[in-house]
């Protein structure tokens, strides 16, 4: 095995220079969310079965799927790589293998710090960049995501073929930090260079969601769809975003159609985000008073396959949503047993499960079992810590909506009015928010205020359908 350099000057151990070119090609698919990443990696490993970075990448991709079975595969890969010793490897390769090993142990703080160390030495290492980002995202720390990008951005030349991916990553991180104007500028710049860059399209969609630009958000996603629709299952998340805009406009039929035709069209692939998108959308539809029929049951088998996953609290809570909403008591019990063990494990996500996840899980169960007051108390107790489960502000907003719903169902009308006031202040264009606010006034016998809120909801509905 020799040492070769790729086009960025990064060193790799491989059996031939052809492997480096193929790894480069693999990276271009990885950065572009292309569906052929696995296929390219498999072909590369067939010809160069002991290339360390290719093997490490196999472990990384397995971990990114968040499936228990794939965790075992990643662990075996890490053990093989570390068993071979680091002596003959370059500094960067050895650090990546260490990161895979530590990731498999569950210490995400340490894993992320190794990737950040790699970036100190090699700011053009897009694997470390993407994985650090992934980890910061699921640690719920938007500032870490943003700062990680800021530290490397000056090293990326505008002419670099991945430059737009990097500013697209930065754009989303900025959006999550509330820096909407800058986020939109970087996101649009990335999309102008490459409209197939689904993550950058997504970053701008987030800005529009945060700023309640509903119709503009739909147009943005739909008009660019011919470009981004060739990416992997991440494309369904863009459809999910489109649904959020339609939902705010009261266009429930479109939402149901997108759910049925797209969001649940590939559940067999076991991509965790598919289930998160669908579960989150169904729960929102119900909060909007939409009859969803037997759609929870459609998701149930896919959710049950993931009861034993222990990678992402955020994703597991969405699987639990499906299981409790489908009324599967046995699976609910199994999942809660699993959660309790996870919460005691002490690993990074286990600590998040202990601190926040268990309360959210209990709230989900209590909401479905007719105990809204307990649900309200569980949610209210940790409402300022939701971000610790990771995911985006838009995704976690479901728990804010649930808290407001729980207040109403528990006849806590003062709290409902207060939460309604918060929501109409934050989201003045939200029909749902004004309806909830109006309901609170109605229950409190404040009829004039109730009428004002309901009239505002009606005006928003009419305006969005002019
Ligand atoms: Fe998103």
pLDDT in tens, 268-315: 988 999 999 999 999 999 999 999 999 999 999 999 999 999 999 999
Of 198, 232, 266, which residue sits at a domain end? 232
Distance 206 CA to ligand 1 centre (A): 6
CATH of residue 71 = 1.25.40
Distance 177 CA to ligand 1 centre (A): 14
**Separation of alpha carbons 407 and 410, rounded Å:** 5
By residue range, what is the domain housing residue 196? 140-232
Residue 240 lies in a domain: no
Distance 390 CA to ligand 1 centre (A): 12
pLDDT of residue 87: 61
90 band by pLDDT with thresholds 50, 70 and 90: confident
Q: What are 20's two structure tokens?
A: 């480096």
Residue 458 lies in a domain: yes
* Claim to verify: residue 291 and residue 317 sit in the same structural domain: yes
pLDDT of residue 172: 98
Residue 398 lies in a domain: no
6-15 pLDDT tens trace: 888 899 999 9
88 band by pLDDT with thresholds 50, 70 and 90: confident
Distance 392 CA to ligand 1 centre (A): 6
95-113 pLDDT tens trace: 999 999 999 999 999 999 9
Angle subtended by helix axes 393-409 and 413-426, to nearest 10: 150
Does position 86 have pLDDT exceeding 70, yes or no? no
Distance 86 CA to ligand 1 centre (A): 38
Average pLDDT over residues 312-323: 97
* Claim to verify: residue 224 and residue 293 sit in the same structural domain: no
224-261 pLDDT tens trace: 999 998 899 999 999 999 999 999 999 999 999 999 99
Q: What are 223's two structure tokens?
A: 């008009």
* Claim to verify: residue 1 and residue 131 sit in the same structural domain: yes
Distance 441 CA to ligand 1 centre (A): 33
* Claim to verify: residue 75 and residue 152 sit in the same structural domain: no
What is the tally of structural domains in the chain? 4
Region class of 264: left (phi > 0), else alpha (psi between -120 and 50), else beta: alpha
pLDDT of residue 97: 95
pLDDT of residue 7: 83
* Claim to verify: residue 271 and residue 339 sit in the same structural domain: yes
Neighbours of ion ligand 1 (CB under 5 A): 392
* Claim to verify: residue 117 and residue 104 sit in the same structural domain: yes
Average pLDDT over residues 35-53: 95
pLDDT of residue 463: 81
363-380 pLDDT tens trace: 999 999 999 999 999 999
pLDDT of residue 85: 65
Residue 399 lies in a domain: no
Residue 244 lies in a domain: no
* Claim to verify: residue 128 and residue 153 sit in the same structural domain: no
Residue 268 lies in a domain: yes
Question: What mean pLDDT is reported for the chain?
Answer: 95
67 band by pLDDT with thresholds 50, 70 and 90: confident
* Claim to verify: residue 377 and residue 268 sit in the same structural domain: yes
* Claim to verify: residue 71 and residue 84 sit in the same structural domain: yes
464 band by pLDDT with thresholds 50, 70 and 90: confident
Exposed, middle or buried, 241 (CB in 10 Å: 0-12/13-18/19+)? Answer: buried
pLDDT of residue 259: 98
131-155 pLDDT tens trace: 999 999 999 999 999 999 999 999 9
395-423 pLDDT tens trace: 999 999 999 999 999 999 999 999 999 99
Of 99, 118, 137, which residue sits at a domain end? 137
Q: What are 450's two structure tokens?
A: 């109730």
Distance 399 CA to ligand 1 centre (A): 15
CA atoms within 13 A on the CB side of 225: 13
pLDDT of residue 462: 84
Residue 243 lies in a domain: no
Distance 252 CA to ligand 1 centre (A): 20
pLDDT of residue 262: 96
pTM of the prediction? 0.95
Of 90, 113, 137, which residue sits at a domain end? 137
* Claim to verify: residue 91 and residue 207 sit in the same structural domain: no
Average pLDDT over residues 31-45: 95
* Claim to verify: residue 446 and residue 350 sit in the same structural domain: no
**Separation of alpha carbons 380 and 394, rounded Å:** 18
163-184 pLDDT tens trace: 999 999 999 999 999 999 999 9
* Claim to verify: residue 120 and residue 182 sit in the same structural domain: no
Residue 241 lies in a domain: no
């Amino acid at each position: 095995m020799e040492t070769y350099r790729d086009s960025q000057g990064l060193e790799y151990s491989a059996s031939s220079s052809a492997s480096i070119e193929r790894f480069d090609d693999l990276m271009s698919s990885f950065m572009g969310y292309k569906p052929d990443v696995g296929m390219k990696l498999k072909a590369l490993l067939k010809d160069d079965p002991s290339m360390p970075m290719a093997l490490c990448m196999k472990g990384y991709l397995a971990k990114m799927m968040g499936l228990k079975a794939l965790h075992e595969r990643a662990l075996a890969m890490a053990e093989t790589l570390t068993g071979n010793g680091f002596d003959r490897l370059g500094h960067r390769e050895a650090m990546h293998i260490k990161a895979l090993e530590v990731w498999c142990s569950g210490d995400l703080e340490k894993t992320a710090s190794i990737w950040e160390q790699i970036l100190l030495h090699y700011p053009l290492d897009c694997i470390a960049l993407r994985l650090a980002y992934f980890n910061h995202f699921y640690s719920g720390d938007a500032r870490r995501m943003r700062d990680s990008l800021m530290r490397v951005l000056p090293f990326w030349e505008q002419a670099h073929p991945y430059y737009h991916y990097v500013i697209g990553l930065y754009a989303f991180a900025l959006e999550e930090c509330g820096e909407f104007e800058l986020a939109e500028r970087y996101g649009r710049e990335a999309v102008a260079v490459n409209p197939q860059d689904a993550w950058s399209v997504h970053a701008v969609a987030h800005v529009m969601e945060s700023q309640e630009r509903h119709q503009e958000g739909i147009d943005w996603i739909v008009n660019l769809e011919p470009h981004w629709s060739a990416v992997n299952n991440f494309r369904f998340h863009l459809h999910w975003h489109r649904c959020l805009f339609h939902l705010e406009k009261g266009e429930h039929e479109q939402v149901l159609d997108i759910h049925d035709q797209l969001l649940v069209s590939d559940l067999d692939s076991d991509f965790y985000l598919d289930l998160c998108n669908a579960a989150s959308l169904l729960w929102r539809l119900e909060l909007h008073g939409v009859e969803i029929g037997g759609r929870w049951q459609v998701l149930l088998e896919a959710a049950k396959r993931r009861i034993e996953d222990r990678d992402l609290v955020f994703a597991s809570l969405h699987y639990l949503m499906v299981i409790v909403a489908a009324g599967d008591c046995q699976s609910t019990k199994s999942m809660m047993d699993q959660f309790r063990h996870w919460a005691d494990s002490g690993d990074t996500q286990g600590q998040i499960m202990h601190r926040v996840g268990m309360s959210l899980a209990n709230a989900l169960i209590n909401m479905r079992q007719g105990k809204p007051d307990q649900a309200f108390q569980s949610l209210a107790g940790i409402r300022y810590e939701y971000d610790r489960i990771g995911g985006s502000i838009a995704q976690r907003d479901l728990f804010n909506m649930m808290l407001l719903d729980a207040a109403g169902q528990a006849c806590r009308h003062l709290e409902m009015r207060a939460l309604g006031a918060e929501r109409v202040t934050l989201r003045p264009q939200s029909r749902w928010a004004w309806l909830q606010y109006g309901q609170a006034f109605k229950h409190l016998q404040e009829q004039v205020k109730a009428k004002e809120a309901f009239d505002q909801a009606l005006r928003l509905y009419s305006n969005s359908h002019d």
